[in-house]
Amino acid sequence: MMYVKTKVLQSDIHGLGLFADEFIPKGTILWKFTPGFDQKFTQTEIDTLPERAQKYLKFYAYLSKKSNKHIFPVDDGKYFNHSDDPNSKSAHFDDEEEVVTRAIKDIQKGEEITDNYNLFEEKSPDSLPEDY
């Protein structure tokens, strides 16, 4: 679930992106997996869904290094774009079910919020489909 105010806008990085709609100080929690709101799927569960739903999840969910399940942020958290020089960082903690994403720099209102997918996701950004 997103913990800060954001907007989804056209991104210079790829398609749509997540943009700060308020000033976000370094260290602020931006997103974290919220059971009962965000969703987790096994590959078997995804395989039973209609093809359109499978493609949607392939595009917007990520494969967690912690649980080896596909994590689907229900809200705008699915619009983080990858960057090798991100302004946020997703990390696993023993007392959290999945990643917690924090700002690692001050993020200005209107700035795109980015993350390094390689730190928490089993697949690389290169394996993402062009569209769904």
- Which pLDDT tens digit goes with each residue over 82-122? 999 999 999 888 889 999 999 999 999 999 999 998 888 87
**The pLDDT value given to residue 121:** 82
Per-residue pLDDT band for 131 (boundaries 50, 70, 90) equals: low
Beta strand segments in 15-117, E: 16-20, 29-32, 39-41, 62-63, 70-72, 81-82, 88-91, 100-103, 114-115
Considering the segment(s) 6-123 as one domain, its CATH architecture is Beta Complex (2.170)
- CA–CA distance, 19 with 26 (Å, rounded to integer): 15
Sorting pLDDT into bands at 50, 70 and 90, what band is 132? very low
**Mean pLDDT of the 42-54 span:** 96
